[in-house]
Structure 1
Amino acid sequence: MKKRILAILAVTATLSSCQDFLNLKPAYQISDQGFYQNQNDFETALVGVYSTTRGLYSSSTIQYVGDLTTDNAEIQWSSPSADEMQLDQNGVTATNAYIRSVWNTCLYTISQSSNILNRIDAVAFDPTVKNRIKGEAQFLRAFSYFYLVRMFGNVPVATQTFTSPAQVAAADLTLKPKEEVYKLIVSDLTSAETLLPATAVTDKTRASQMTVKTLLGKVYLTQKSYDLAAAKLKEVIDAKQYSLVVDYKTLSTNGNTNLPETILEVAYLSGQTLGNNYSALFTPAITSMAIFPGNAQGAGRIVPTLDLIKAYETGDARKAVSVSDSVSLIGGKKSYSRYGLKFVDFKAVDPGDGSVSFTVLRFADVLLMYAEALNEQGKTADALPSLNQVRQRAKLPALAGLSQADLRLALEQERRVEFLYEGHRWFDLVRTGRAQTVLNAHYASQKLNFSVQDFELLFPIPQAEIDLNPTLKQNPGY
């Protein structure tokens, strides 16, 4: 019954280089005498955890969950899979492969992080390096649990390392209340804060102290602990380690690594099976288009809705570098077709192997979350400057004199166009309690017979996991 749980919760990584993907085996097959014996072993294992985490983004799983489920995006491809249509039409079932992918990827990451944390104190090496590794592992575990608790609500909580199948069979792997999950998330992040150095990092594919503070601020905001969120996010702002880039386009085009605005990113390298598939999924499925070398075809699977394109204010500099409704064809003509430009590698010979980095956390998010946290405390006038920093970078006029309710809507609008294709929209709408109002109005405007019901604010626990471990109870409504 728990063999699958063993595979998910009791794994560790062995990597031949920092660019290898994971070679996973059950932890009980790895001898403590043969691994986890020195600093290099733990560094290698940590690279494995990061490699697992990138799986959330490499195949656009987060964009499927965070954008395709909303009024931001839809499928243009004529033959989508049933799983894609479920996300597009808000009819997700417990067999959906994308939902199960998030569940499995996050639990792999949690297990690997725990393996490091449970073994590292038994090995003597440089305390400063040891603290950094522990801090990064705690961040990655909290990061994964944060996705799980927002998507599924109650989830299993396991921080131990399993060294035998019997230990797995005896473990309590039932669903735990979301409050217990959040308690672990906050505990991991507050500990990681103290372990990671305060100095800025040059490699933004790795977590830093400011990365931890940013995520902790987002966690507090999601929990509606607005005073704690504002205080933590202000620490990131006051550290002055980040700033908005001048040109919004540079955030999502070739060469976008380690930018001043980036807090955490996933880097990709084409030609070595280390690329992403954004260039295929975000662009039209037109055989005669001429936007890639060799006139390669896109897939049209996550393209902007007409409603999204109309959402940009007049003069918004983000629109022209984020979306397009005109595609160049072989022969010089153009055809109407909506598609996304962000994170698309227009130099890629294979659109499924792009090299543009994906930004997981960035400073614009800090500013807008800080504004939200202040506004929810009734400090609307104090919140406006942070919102206006983001607007002014987009060449839009500053807002003034807004009520608390007006600023809520202004922040919702700003986040929608600022973070298109960054997987935020679904989580933003659920956090603010606006998912049903916004999305049901969108479906009605399109004369679509879809709706978001109360139970659909959480996703279903993957049925395959319940079949293997019946102690997992399905979320109500599914």
Structure 2
Amino acid sequence: MNKFLSYKLVLAAALFCASCNSFLDVLPRGVANEEDLQNAVGAEKLAVAAYATLGNDHWHEPYTSMWPYGNVRSGDAYKGGLGAADQGEYHQYEIFSTVRADMDKGNRIWTRLYIGVQRANAAIKVLKVLDEASFKDKTKRLAEMRFLRAHYHFLLKILFKKIAYVTDDLEADDIEKLSNDELSDNDLWQKIADDFRFAVDNLPAPRTDVGRPNQTVAKAYLAKTRLYQAYMQDNQNSVTSVNQEYMNEVISLTTEVINSGEFSLFDDIGKNFLWNYDNRSESVFAVQRSKDDGTPIGRIDMSTALNYPMYPGYGCCSFHRPTQNLVNSFRTSDKGLPLFNDFNTVSMKDSVDFIKNTIDPRLDHSVGIPSHPYKYQQNVIYRAATFTREPGTYGPYSAMKEVQQLGCPCLTTAQTYAYPASSKNSSIIRFSDVILWKAEALIEVGRIDEALPLINQIRTRAKNSTNLLKNANGKFMSNYSMDVYKPGENIVWNKANATTALRWERRLEFALEGIRFFDLVRWGIAAETMNNYFVTEKTRVPHLSAANFTKGRDEYLPVPEQQIQRSNSIYKQNNGWN
């Protein structure tokens, strides 16, 4: 496949789309030529194709769950499966030391995401030549397409750092000559921000379709972009400063999202991970999924299809396994706070350990634990022997957030595969994320007292999220005990402690949701965090024996060698990979 798909291929692909929601209910009709699409109907088809790419990922290149890139590389998850050779490139990502620039999975996800970019650009090109009289939704669709273009570039940016920003005004010859090294790191972020800003300025305020972004959703994504942009990096991936102007913009944007009244936290965090709560109050932006929609396999979530346990009714394949380090991180002190420094001195393994120690309830929303009911199913008791593969290698635990309950109407088996998958939406932005972005920005500009109630809002919800966590006898699975931060009583609330509390809260709140590694890189602490993790975790599991994180290199995946060659070496490699 060339560096980018040809425009003709995009046009052909435009008519391939399975239904995700009302505006994606378009059945495949075949192939159209360019002339057929130079009208309002064609513009809508091209827009549908750009939306379809949101959920077109696969376990070979997952970019909705991001579990191999955000969790397996973060110390929160082991790869899992049937040993190191099973989906072996994910094992290489986990240990870092053997990653190569020519690995297939890196090239796959690069290509998939640029397909999304080009589909958005194909729609924009047609939309621009139409007038409002012939297509009344022209401006709104343009804003949606620029939102999607920014989304695909955003994912490419956090994965690869050095990327080419491809816009609709570039012809094929221009794209072939486009460099991935011409723009500075900050300039690339600015390109992404400009597209999201256009979406903010041109999308409608009311939400007309749950699968489409509106103005408030665009503000949330712009806030996320500014937050990443604010941590200024040099060419060696070190954070050199924190831009206060961008942080203040994060505060303004998140405040507008929070005050919009469009979103709110669920009363129980577990509702975020159940199919029947899709598109409810905490979902800011999500990929819309479906099944039994008249297409071969529906719009099911193939990105997490390897991650279901071996238990009958699920069947395969036991990937994405929580680390002992992550499990231990949910321990709390006698005051109900995280054990920032001492969490990993005790390993909770046996059933009694989860009673002897005090626990943050979010552990049992995130991790399948031996003897505990699995995924809120009191009649399905988790056992490592029947739920996992290679517990001697990858430990006794299983990830649980992406797995749905047995008997859920959302579950299916993908055509030609024996692997389970679901039509549960793939969350891109949760409202709790927006709240913690604001708290983080407030801390970074020195307004730490204003960050406190936001962090405590998340902790209060977590503390109260125990109704789903009961055994059949009505008793709680673990010994839950947590509290909010009370300056002068259980914590000294200075900037250093507020920063630690915020970063810890993000780990626990978004455990196994594909976010952690990108947080570590953004904060500039990936190398120290990962190498400290490896010191202890190597003594627990044998497959990490060769693991090592090289500072200045491993913060990003290498630019795929296949893409460098196809660009005739116009593309340049990331620092440390030459």
Higher mean alpha-carbon deviation, 413-422 vs 226-235, is at 413-422
Instruction: Give the TM-score normalised by structure 1.
Output: 0.88
* CA offsets 1:4-59 (integer angstroms, 9 cap, x no match): 1242677344226652699998xxx942x321311x32222111111112234776
| Distance in 2 separating the partners of 1:363 and 1:23 | 37
- Matching residue of 1:245: 266
CA distance 1:82–1:200, shift in 2 (3 Å): same
* CA offsets 1:334-391 (integer angstroms, 9 cap, x no match): 4463001112123335343212221111110000010000000111111011111111
- Matching residue of 1:380: 448
- Would you say 1:305 and 2:323 are equivalent positions? yes
| Distance in 2 separating the partners of 1:113 and 1:333 | 44
CA distance 1:30–1:159, shift in 2 (3 Å): farther
Maintained 8 Å contact 2:57/2:303: no
- Would you say 1:138 and 2:146 are equivalent positions? yes
Pairwise CA RMSD: 2.8
Gaps of 5+ in 2: 20-25, 231-245, 333-357, 386-395, 414-418, 464-481, 488-492, 539-544
Secondary structure of residue in 1 paired with 2:82: coil
* CA offsets 1:244-287 (integer angstroms, 9 cap, x no match): 01121111112132110101111223455121246643334x4x
| Distance in 1 separating the partners of 2:206 and 2:381 | 51
| Distance in 2 separating the partners of 1:431 and 1:467 | 29
Shift of 1:473: 1.6
| Distance in 1 separating the partners of 2:263 and 2:72 | 30
Secondary structure of residue in 1 paired with 2:256: helix
Higher mean alpha-carbon deviation, 181-190 vs 122-131, is at 122-131
Secondary structure of residue in 1 paired with 2:370: strand
Shift of 1:72: 0.8
| Percent of matched pairs sharing the same residue | 23
* CA offsets 1:184-233 (integer angstroms, 9 cap, x no match): 11211111111101123451x22121111111111111122211111111
Which protein is richer in helix relative to its size?
1
What aligned pairs does 1:370-449 form with structure 2 within 5 A after superposition? Answer: 370-395=438-463, 396-401=482-487, 402-447=493-538, 448-449=545-546
Secondary structure of residue in 1 paired with 2:458: helix
| Distance in 1 separating the partners of 2:204 and 2:381 | 54
- Matching residue of 1:63: 67
- Matching residue of 2:80: 76
Maintained 8 Å contact 2:17/2:52: no
Gaps of 5+ in 1: none
Secondary structure of residue in 2 paired with 1:359: strand
Equivalent of 2:370, from 313, 326, 330? 326
The AA in structure 2 aligned to 1:83 is: E
Equivalent of 1:99, from 89, 100, 106? 106
CA distance 1:189–1:17, shift in 2 (3 Å): closer
| Distance in 2 separating the partners of 1:404 and 1:22 | 55
The AA in structure 2 aligned to 1:473 is: K
Higher mean alpha-carbon deviation, 135-144 vs 341-350, is at 341-350
- Matching residue of 2:542: none
Shift of 1:242: 0.4
Maintained 8 Å contact 1:460/1:474: yes
Structure 1: 4+ residue segments shifted above 6 A = 20-25, 327-333
| Distance in 2 separating the partners of 1:333 and 1:265 | 29
- Matching residue of 2:285: 264
Maintained 8 Å contact 1:252/1:358: no
- Would you say 1:36 and 2:38 are equivalent positions? yes
* CA offsets 1:396-453 (integer angstroms, 9 cap, x no match): 4221322211121111111112112321111111111121121111111123442222
- Matching residue of 2:239: none
| Distance in 1 separating the partners of 2:229 and 2:147 | 18
Maintained 8 Å contact 1:8/1:104: no
| Distance in 2 separating the partners of 1:35 and 1:333 | 53
| Distance in 2 separating the partners of 1:307 and 1:374 | 29
| Distance in 2 separating the partners of 1:24 and 1:406 | 59
| Distance in 1 separating the partners of 2:412 and 2:167 | 43
Higher mean alpha-carbon deviation, 207-216 vs 121-130, is at 121-130
- Matching residue of 1:462: 560
Higher mean alpha-carbon deviation, 369-378 vs 243-252, is at 243-252
Maintained 8 Å contact 1:151/1:458: yes
| Distance in 2 separating the partners of 1:455 and 1:145 | 21
CA distance 1:167–1:371, shift in 2 (3 Å): closer
What aligned pairs does 1:274-313 form with structure 2 within 5 A after superposition? Answer: 274-277=299-302, 280-284=305-309, 286=310, 289-290=311-312, 292=313, 296-312=314-330, 313=332
- Matching residue of 2:54: 53
- Matching residue of 2:206: 199
CA distance 1:175–1:244, shift in 2 (3 Å): same
- Matching residue of 1:214: 220
Higher mean alpha-carbon deviation, 371-380 vs 309-318, is at 309-318
Secondary structure of residue in 1 paired with 2:427: strand
| Distance in 1 separating the partners of 2:283 and 2:561 | 37
| Distance in 1 separating the partners of 2:571 and 2:249 | 33
Shift of 1:316: 2.5
Number of equivalenced pairs: 461
- Matching residue of 2:131: 124
Maintained 8 Å contact 1:207/1:264: yes
- Matching residue of 2:14: 14
Maintained 8 Å contact 2:369/2:382: no
| Distance in 2 separating the partners of 1:188 and 1:278 | 26
Higher mean alpha-carbon deviation, 5-14 vs 439-448, is at 5-14
- Matching residue of 1:114: 121
Secondary structure of residue in 1 paired with 2:423: coil
Secondary structure of residue in 2 paired with 1:64: helix
Shift of 1:121: 2.6
CA distance 1:280–1:174, shift in 2 (3 Å): closer
CA distance 1:243–1:333, shift in 2 (3 Å): closer
Maintained 8 Å contact 1:280/1:297: no
Instruction: Give the TM-score normalised by structure 2.
Output: 0.74
* CA offsets 1:139-192 (integer angstroms, 9 cap, x no match): 1111111122222222112213566x65655x4345332233222112111111
